[in-house]
A and B are shown apart, each in its own frame.
Chain A
């Protein structure tokens, strides 16, 4: 169980001037499992995400991603778009970042940019309408159609993404990330703003992504019903450090976690913890 990690974060630190957002954080995400990263607001969860997906360069620490074929990539050495292109790490954003003026289908086509760019012979084959390009384009449309069907948006494929209801936009962003064919999918609060029914549908979607596609998922979430239902492993952060780690059941009963969420001060938390053990 402990051997197969897709992502190993080792002593990651991120400082902004004098502020330490993430301090010496180490955790692993297992392959084909859902790992949740939880913690109160301002705990540094999104900073960790931004480090993993190349938006920030960490102050120190190592992040190692191992693909299914055993090929290992040091994420802290890549930056910007290369994380997604070479390491195949896809992400979604806390505040949805779709392309609002493009249709749902177009959003999913843009996600397949790198594959389509190769197929279009860096545009030149595509410009003359070569058959190989046409086939690749059709395949891309078919993949997009499959995902639109999965998230129940096939009927609204030709509508502008900005016109879709909030819940649909959330799911579309996940589908768009999946269209990059990622090895690791990072979701930043996918259930934020969803109602109970939509949250349940989201849980189902994420479980099927894990099971049917074998994609590992790293998840930031505040909605504990979602976290407890689908996570295989939970990492709890507070003030930039890891305070607990374990199965959802273990986390649920951990006094330190309860203290962090309820805002109890430290001595009290320790007292609670000691009395518990």
Chain B
């Protein structure tokens, strides 16, 4: 760490400022904690309310905040402004950029090898499938939020449509997974267009509210339309996927028997792992291709400036609808996979929490960045599992990690934008210039 420049210290706030700030922090802490810590209430043996005061704990807490605030300010002065690139020596920077280029292929190869390395660790395989499902969902939502700049808080609706499409088609009509998969995608895309029409005129907060409501409507319909969806009981006995019609079961017609190897339930898990990997990579490939096609550029142009798009003769209506439909289609694929993996689905799996999680992955990853979304999904889902040992502090640690990340990288892990076409050199565009969209 190099010494902070002299100009910095001269502009540094004085002792009075630090003291004032600490005093304000302590006051806020006093107000906040006076009821939370200062008074403890409990139900007595006869059900009456008993309470006692803990002013000692409260005083300790407020003192900690006061001292902590002073220490924090002093540290900030010593540290200098956060986020200056000049601090990092060029050698480290070039190493970092090399690592940045290598991280995607290394991750891809590693993902391919996960079932080989962790063949005997069912937990890791299951976690891998979960992470890949969210990677796929994140990439799907990235088309809508990251590229087209339309804030969609009801993405889980398309996940649900895909899952229920497969579950109902398979259990009622006996259609196989591989036939239902495209159908689920098409149905979800159809619902995406249906949602798209009423929200075309909306922007920003209004768009977010309507999509949020749409997600809830789908869930409530699934919950209450008992005769078709089974209501809160969900759909059970959803068939597992087959390998060209060969089931991965222990029976005589199973894959293990045909290959003449000993049956193991892990075969199916590995099979599922590669299915979701293939689906996720398909999503990635299609999105990367679309970005370089006129439709993808129109999405990004729409995010940058809608009025200019109209002046250039771009039909903003169909452009928005295709973004909704494309994102929804990938959500539908992921939903069909979810149904076949679980074997059982119910409306409980499709709450707003899922939408929020997927959106958090997209925002955390850096809107529009494929690699960023994949890393964010790994961090969000995998990291959440990593902190499992911390019990009830898990949410706290996780929340703090996210706040810190947003302070240091406000535009997500990978905030810069890669151009879709270039003449001479492909240089990344700083996140300061890229718009976040109006909705």
Check B298 against A123 for contact (C-beta < 8 Å): no
| CB neighbors of A among B29-50 (8 A) | none
A180 to B301: give the CA distance in the assembly, Å. Answer: 15
* Min distance, Cβ B134 to any Cβ of chain A, angstroms: 25
Q: Which residue of A lies closest to B425 (CB)?
A: A158
A118 to B347: give the CA distance in the assembly, Å. Answer: 42
Q: Check A113/B314 contact, CB under 8 A, given A99-B305, A120-B294, A123-B293.
A: yes
Q: Is A237 an interface residue (CB 8 A)?
A: no
Chain B residues, Cβ within 8 Å of A101:
300, 303-304, 417, 429, 433-435
Check B424 against A127 for contact (C-beta < 8 Å): no
Check B298 against A110 for contact (C-beta < 8 Å): yes
Q: Which residue of A lies closest to B289 (CB)?
A: A127
A112 to B301: give the CA distance in the assembly, Å. Answer: 12
Check A106 against B311 for contact (C-beta < 8 Å): no
Chain B 282-323 per-residue mask, 1 if CB under 8 angstroms from chain A, else 0: 000010011001110110110111011111111110000010
Q: Is A205 an interface residue (CB 8 A)?
A: no
Check A113 against B312 for contact (C-beta < 8 Å): yes
Q: Which residue of B lies closest to A157 (CB)?
A: B423
Check B311 against A157 for contact (C-beta < 8 Å): no
Chain A residues, Cβ within 8 Å of B293:
116, 120, 123, 126-127
Chain B residues, Cβ within 8 Å of A116:
293-294
Q: Is B171 an interface residue (CB 8 A)?
A: no
* Min distance, Cβ A263 to any Cβ of chain B, angstroms: 32
Chain A residues, Cβ within 8 Å of B308:
93, 97-99
Check B312 against A176 for contact (C-beta < 8 Å): yes
A114 to B315: give the CA distance in the assembly, Å. Answer: 9
Q: Is A214 an interface residue (CB 8 A)?
A: no
Q: Is B224 an interface residue (CB 8 A)?
A: no
- Name the residue in B301, B312, B426, B427 with the highest tally of chain A Cβ atoms < 10 Å from its Cβ: B312
| CB neighbors of A among B113-165 (8 A) | none
* Min distance, Cβ A3 to any Cβ of chain B, angstroms: 29
A116 to B290: give the CA distance in the assembly, Å. Answer: 13
Check A160 against B294 for contact (C-beta < 8 Å): no
Check A163 against B313 for contact (C-beta < 8 Å): no
Q: Which residue of A lies closest to B368 (CB)?
A: A101
Chain A 83-111 per-residue mask, 1 if CB under 8 angstroms from chain B, else 0: 11100001101000111111101100111
Check B422 against A158 for contact (C-beta < 8 Å): yes
Check B314 against A110 for contact (C-beta < 8 Å): yes
Q: Is B419 an interface residue (CB 8 A)?
A: yes
Chain B residues, Cβ within 8 Å of A85:
313, 315
A30 to B312: give the CA distance in the assembly, Å. Answer: 23
Check B301 against A84 for contact (C-beta < 8 Å): no
Q: Is B430 an interface residue (CB 8 A)?
A: yes
Chain B 410-431 per-residue mask, 1 if CB under 8 angstroms from chain A, else 0: 0000000101111111110110
A113 to B294: give the CA distance in the assembly, Å. Answer: 6
A75 to B303: give the CA distance in the assembly, Å. Answer: 27
* Min distance, Cβ A122 to any Cβ of chain B, angstroms: 8
Chain B's interface size range is: 35 or more
Chain A's interface size range is: 35 or more
A127 to B294: give the CA distance in the assembly, Å. Answer: 11
Chain B residues, Cβ within 8 Å of A141:
421, 423
* Min distance, Cβ A137 to any Cβ of chain B, angstroms: 8
Check B312 against A80 for contact (C-beta < 8 Å): no
A154 to B294: give the CA distance in the assembly, Å. Answer: 22
Chain B residues, Cβ within 8 Å of A91:
311
Chain A residues, Cβ within 8 Å of B298:
110, 113
Check A160 against B313 for contact (C-beta < 8 Å): no
Check B425 against A114 for contact (C-beta < 8 Å): no
A82 to B314: give the CA distance in the assembly, Å. Answer: 8
Q: Which residue of B lies closest to A83 (CB)?
A: B313
Check A106 against B423 for contact (C-beta < 8 Å): no
Chain B residues, Cβ within 8 Å of A81:
309-310, 312-316
Check B311 against A93 for contact (C-beta < 8 Å): yes
Check A180 against B312 for contact (C-beta < 8 Å): yes
Chain B residues, Cβ within 8 Å of A90:
311-312
Q: Which one of B301, B307, B315, B316 lies within 8 Å of A102 (CB-CB)? A: B301
Q: Is A245 an interface residue (CB 8 A)?
A: no
| CB neighbors of B among A5-54 (8 A) | 53-54
Check A105 against B423 for contact (C-beta < 8 Å): yes
| CB neighbors of B among A182-238 (8 A) | none
Q: Which residue of A lies closest to B315 (CB)?
A: A81
* Min distance, Cβ A249 to any Cβ of chain B, angstroms: 33
Q: Is A167 an interface residue (CB 8 A)?
A: no
Q: Could you list 22 A-B pairs, sorted by A, with CB under 8 Å? A: A55-B310, A84-B313, A90-B311, A90-B312, A93-B311, A99-B301, A99-B305, A100-B433, A100-B435, A102-B301, A105-B422, A106-B419, A109-B420, A109-B421, A110-B294, A110-B297, A114-B313, A148-B423, A158-B423, A160-B429, A160-B430, A177-B312
* Interface contacts beyond A84-B313, A123-B293: sample of 4 additional A-B pairs, CB < 8 Å, sorted by A: A55-B311, A98-B308, A101-B417, A106-B297
**Interface residues in chain B, defined as those with a beta carbon under 8 Å from any beta carbon in chain A:** 286, 289-290, 293-295, 297-298, 300-301, 303-305, 307-316, 322, 417, 419-427, 429-430, 433-435
Give 3 closest A-B pairs by Cβ, nearest first: A84-B313, A101-B434, A85-B313
